[in-house]
Protein backbone atom coordinates (compact mmCIF):
# COMPACT_ATOMS: atom_id res chain seq x y z
CA UNK A 1 0.00 0.00 0.00
CA UNK A 2 1.31 3.46 -0.90
CA UNK A 3 2.18 5.49 2.17
CA UNK A 4 3.64 8.90 3.01
CA UNK A 5 5.05 9.47 6.49
CA UNK A 6 5.99 12.92 7.74
CA UNK A 7 8.04 13.93 10.75
CA UNK A 8 7.93 15.57 13.13
CA UNK A 9 4.17 15.78 13.73
CA UNK A 10 4.63 19.24 15.17
CA UNK A 11 7.49 21.67 15.66
CA UNK A 12 7.93 24.94 17.50
CA UNK A 13 10.85 27.23 16.67
CA UNK A 14 11.78 30.84 17.29
CA UNK A 15 11.40 33.46 14.58
CA UNK A 16 14.55 33.77 12.48
CA UNK A 17 15.67 30.18 13.05
CA UNK A 18 15.92 27.50 10.36
CA UNK A 19 14.10 24.18 10.36
CA UNK A 20 13.83 21.00 8.31
CA UNK A 21 10.75 18.86 7.80
CA UNK A 22 10.98 15.24 6.67
CA UNK A 23 8.92 13.09 4.32
CA UNK A 24 9.41 9.36 3.68
CA UNK A 25 7.32 7.52 1.12
CA UNK A 26 6.69 4.05 -0.23
CA UNK A 27 4.75 5.11 -3.34
CA UNK A 28 5.73 3.08 -6.39
CA UNK A 29 6.26 3.64 -9.22
CA UNK A 30 7.20 7.20 -8.33
CA UNK A 31 6.21 10.15 -10.51
CA UNK A 32 6.62 13.33 -8.50
CA UNK A 33 6.58 14.76 -4.99
CA UNK A 34 4.90 17.97 -3.91
CA UNK A 35 5.10 20.09 -0.82
CA UNK A 36 2.05 22.13 0.15
CA UNK A 37 1.60 24.84 2.77
CA UNK A 38 -1.75 24.94 4.54
CA UNK A 39 -2.55 27.96 6.68
CA UNK A 40 -5.10 27.47 9.45
CA UNK A 41 -8.61 27.52 8.01
CA UNK A 42 -7.40 27.60 4.41
CA UNK A 43 -6.83 25.13 1.60
CA UNK A 44 -3.33 23.80 0.75
CA UNK A 45 -1.15 25.88 -1.56
CA UNK A 46 1.63 24.36 -3.66
CA UNK A 47 5.23 25.23 -2.70
CA UNK A 48 7.31 22.92 -4.89
CA UNK A 49 6.92 19.97 -7.24
CA UNK A 50 9.87 17.62 -7.82
CA UNK A 51 10.40 14.82 -10.29
CA UNK A 52 12.66 11.77 -10.08
CA UNK A 53 15.62 13.58 -11.65
CA UNK A 54 15.49 16.67 -9.44
CA UNK A 55 17.54 16.69 -6.23
CA UNK A 56 16.84 20.22 -5.05
CA UNK A 57 14.28 22.89 -5.78
CA UNK A 58 13.88 26.28 -4.11
CA UNK A 59 10.99 28.68 -3.72
CA UNK A 60 12.21 31.74 -1.86
CA UNK A 61 13.14 30.71 1.68
CA UNK A 62 11.81 27.18 1.06
CA UNK A 63 14.18 24.53 -0.29
CA UNK A 64 13.01 20.99 -1.00
CA UNK A 65 15.34 18.05 -1.51
CA UNK A 66 14.57 14.64 -2.94
CA UNK A 67 16.48 11.37 -2.70
CA UNK A 68 14.57 8.99 -4.95
CA UNK A 69 16.89 6.09 -4.05
CA UNK A 70 16.05 6.22 -0.34
CA UNK A 71 12.53 7.58 -1.01
CA UNK A 72 13.03 10.56 1.24
CA UNK A 73 12.37 14.27 0.87
CA UNK A 74 12.94 17.24 3.12
CA UNK A 75 11.67 20.80 3.21
CA UNK A 76 14.11 23.33 4.67
CA UNK A 77 12.86 26.72 5.79
CA UNK A 78 15.47 29.43 6.17
CA UNK A 79 15.19 32.46 8.45
CA UNK A 80 11.67 31.59 9.56
CA UNK A 81 8.98 34.25 9.78
CA UNK A 82 5.75 34.35 11.77
CA UNK A 83 3.85 33.84 8.51
CA UNK A 84 5.52 30.45 8.11
CA UNK A 85 3.30 29.11 10.89
CA UNK A 86 1.20 26.51 9.08
CA UNK A 87 0.88 22.82 8.30
CA UNK A 88 3.22 21.48 5.62
CA UNK A 89 1.94 18.55 3.64
CA UNK A 90 3.99 16.14 1.53
CA UNK A 91 2.11 14.58 -1.41
CA UNK A 92 3.49 11.83 -3.65
CA UNK A 93 2.13 11.02 -7.07
CA UNK A 94 2.35 7.54 -8.56
CA UNK A 95 3.37 7.06 -12.19
CA UNK A 96 0.25 6.47 -14.26
CA UNK A 97 -1.88 6.92 -11.17
CA UNK A 98 -4.09 9.53 -12.73
CA UNK A 99 -6.37 11.83 -10.80
CA UNK A 100 -6.68 9.33 -7.94
CA UNK A 101 -2.96 8.54 -7.79
CA UNK A 102 -1.95 10.99 -5.06
CA UNK A 103 -1.01 9.93 -1.53
CA UNK A 104 -1.11 12.67 1.10
CA UNK A 105 0.95 12.76 4.27
CA UNK A 106 -0.64 13.84 7.55
CA UNK A 107 1.42 17.01 7.61
CA UNK A 108 3.83 18.71 10.01
CA UNK A 109 2.33 21.48 12.11
CA UNK A 110 4.90 24.28 12.39
CA UNK A 111 4.60 27.11 14.90
CA UNK A 112 6.94 30.10 14.73
CA UNK A 113 7.22 31.98 18.00
CA UNK A 114 8.34 35.63 18.21
CA UNK B 1 -9.65 34.99 -11.22
CA UNK B 2 -11.44 33.92 -8.06
CA UNK B 3 -9.83 30.47 -8.34
CA UNK B 4 -11.75 27.72 -6.52
CA UNK B 5 -14.68 28.88 -4.40
CA UNK B 6 -16.67 26.77 -1.94
CA UNK B 7 -19.92 27.41 -0.12
CA UNK B 8 -20.90 27.30 2.65
CA UNK B 9 -17.84 27.91 4.86
CA UNK B 10 -19.46 26.28 7.89
CA UNK B 11 -22.49 24.07 8.41
CA UNK B 12 -24.03 22.08 11.24
CA UNK B 13 -26.32 19.21 10.27
CA UNK B 14 -28.48 16.86 12.27
CA UNK B 15 -28.14 13.12 11.72
CA UNK B 16 -30.14 12.08 8.67
CA UNK B 17 -30.30 15.51 7.07
CA UNK B 18 -29.08 16.15 3.54
CA UNK B 19 -27.06 18.95 2.03
CA UNK B 20 -25.02 19.94 -1.00
CA UNK B 21 -21.56 21.43 -0.78
CA UNK B 22 -20.96 23.76 -3.69
CA UNK B 23 -17.67 24.12 -5.61
CA UNK B 24 -16.94 26.40 -8.55
CA UNK B 25 -13.70 27.14 -10.40
CA UNK B 26 -13.06 29.81 -13.02
CA UNK B 27 -9.73 28.54 -14.38
CA UNK B 28 -11.27 26.28 -17.05
CA UNK B 29 -9.71 23.22 -15.41
CA UNK B 30 -10.91 19.86 -16.64
CA UNK B 31 -10.05 17.94 -13.47
CA UNK B 32 -11.90 18.55 -10.22
CA UNK B 33 -11.69 16.72 -6.89
CA UNK B 34 -13.37 16.46 -3.52
CA UNK B 35 -11.30 15.63 -0.44
CA UNK B 36 -12.06 15.34 3.24
CA UNK B 37 -9.57 16.20 5.94
CA UNK B 38 -10.06 14.73 9.39
CA UNK B 39 -8.07 16.03 12.38
CA UNK B 40 -4.51 14.70 12.33
CA UNK B 41 -5.06 12.80 9.09
CA UNK B 42 -4.02 13.27 5.49
CA UNK B 43 -6.50 14.37 2.84
CA UNK B 44 -8.64 11.51 1.53
CA UNK B 45 -10.11 11.58 -1.99
CA UNK B 46 -13.89 11.21 -2.06
CA UNK B 47 -14.74 11.68 -5.74
CA UNK B 48 -13.08 13.20 -8.77
CA UNK B 49 -14.03 14.24 -12.28
CA UNK B 50 -11.91 14.46 -15.42
CA UNK B 51 -14.46 16.51 -17.32
CA UNK B 52 -18.12 17.46 -17.62
CA UNK B 53 -20.33 14.40 -17.42
CA UNK B 54 -17.56 12.13 -16.06
CA UNK B 55 -17.13 11.27 -12.39
CA UNK B 56 -15.27 8.54 -10.53
CA UNK B 57 -15.03 7.25 -6.98
CA UNK B 58 -11.99 7.94 -4.87
CA UNK B 59 -10.81 6.25 -1.71
CA UNK B 60 -13.78 7.12 0.56
CA UNK B 61 -16.95 7.61 -1.57
CA UNK B 62 -19.55 5.95 0.70
CA UNK B 63 -22.28 8.34 1.82
CA UNK B 64 -21.58 10.89 -0.91
CA UNK B 65 -22.66 11.62 -4.46
CA UNK B 66 -21.40 14.04 -7.09
CA UNK B 67 -22.37 15.39 -10.48
CA UNK B 68 -20.50 17.40 -13.11
CA UNK B 69 -22.84 19.03 -15.57
CA UNK B 70 -20.50 21.93 -16.41
CA UNK B 71 -16.73 22.47 -16.45
CA UNK B 72 -17.02 25.07 -13.68
CA UNK B 73 -19.17 23.32 -11.07
CA UNK B 74 -18.66 20.13 -9.07
CA UNK B 75 -21.18 19.84 -6.20
CA UNK B 76 -20.89 17.19 -3.48
CA UNK B 77 -24.11 15.75 -2.07
CA UNK B 78 -24.57 14.19 1.37
CA UNK B 79 -27.87 12.30 1.43
CA UNK B 80 -28.16 11.00 5.01
CA UNK B 81 -25.66 12.79 7.20
CA UNK B 82 -23.86 10.72 9.83
CA UNK B 83 -21.49 11.81 12.62
CA UNK B 84 -18.64 10.05 10.76
CA UNK B 85 -19.01 12.69 8.04
CA UNK B 86 -17.94 15.45 10.42
CA UNK B 87 -14.87 16.82 8.67
CA UNK B 88 -13.42 19.64 6.61
CA UNK B 89 -14.16 19.26 2.92
CA UNK B 90 -11.88 20.64 0.24
CA UNK B 91 -12.60 21.01 -3.43
CA UNK B 92 -9.65 21.24 -5.84
CA UNK B 93 -9.07 21.58 -9.56
CA UNK B 94 -6.23 21.12 -12.03
CA UNK B 95 -5.46 20.91 -15.72
CA UNK B 96 -5.63 17.42 -17.23
CA UNK B 97 -3.04 15.09 -15.81
CA UNK B 98 -1.14 15.75 -12.62
CA UNK B 99 2.18 16.08 -14.38
CA UNK B 100 4.97 17.82 -12.48
CA UNK B 101 4.11 21.20 -13.93
CA UNK B 102 0.41 21.04 -13.21
CA UNK B 103 -0.50 21.69 -9.63
CA UNK B 104 -3.80 21.33 -7.84
CA UNK B 105 -5.58 24.48 -6.72
CA UNK B 106 -7.63 24.11 -3.56
CA UNK B 107 -10.67 25.98 -2.31
CA UNK B 108 -10.88 27.40 1.23
CA UNK B 109 -12.83 24.43 2.58
CA UNK B 110 -16.22 23.74 4.17
CA UNK B 111 -16.24 22.78 7.84
CA UNK B 112 -19.12 20.36 8.43
CA UNK B 113 -20.34 19.12 11.80
CA UNK B 114 -22.99 16.39 12.08
CA UNK B 115 -24.72 16.13 15.46
Q: What is the pLDDT of residue B97?
A: 60
Residue A88: band (very low, low, confident or very high) from pLDDT cuts 50, 70, 90: very high
Cβ contact A106–B42 (<8 Å): yes
Q: Are B93 and B68 in contact (CB under 8 A)?
A: no
Give every residue of chain B whose pLDDT is below 50, as ranges: none
Q: For B61, what's the count of Cα atoms within 13 Å in the CB-facing half-sphere? A: 12
For B91-105, what is each residue's pLDDT tens digit?
Answer: 999 887 655 557 889
CA B11/CA B8 separation, integer angstroms: 7
The minimum CA-CA distance between A109 and chain B, rounded to whole Å, is 10
Per-residue CA distances from B91 to A29, B21, B36, B66, B73 (Å): 26, 9, 9, 12, 10
Cβ contact B56–A100 (<8 Å): yes
Amino acid sequence: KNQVEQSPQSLIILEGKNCTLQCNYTVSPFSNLRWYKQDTGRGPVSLTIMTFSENTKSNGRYTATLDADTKQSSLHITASQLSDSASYICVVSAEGGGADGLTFGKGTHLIIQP
Amino acid sequence: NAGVTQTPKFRILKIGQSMTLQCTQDMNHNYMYWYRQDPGMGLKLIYYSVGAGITDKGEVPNGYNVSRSTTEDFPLRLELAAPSQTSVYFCASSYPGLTPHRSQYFGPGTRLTVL
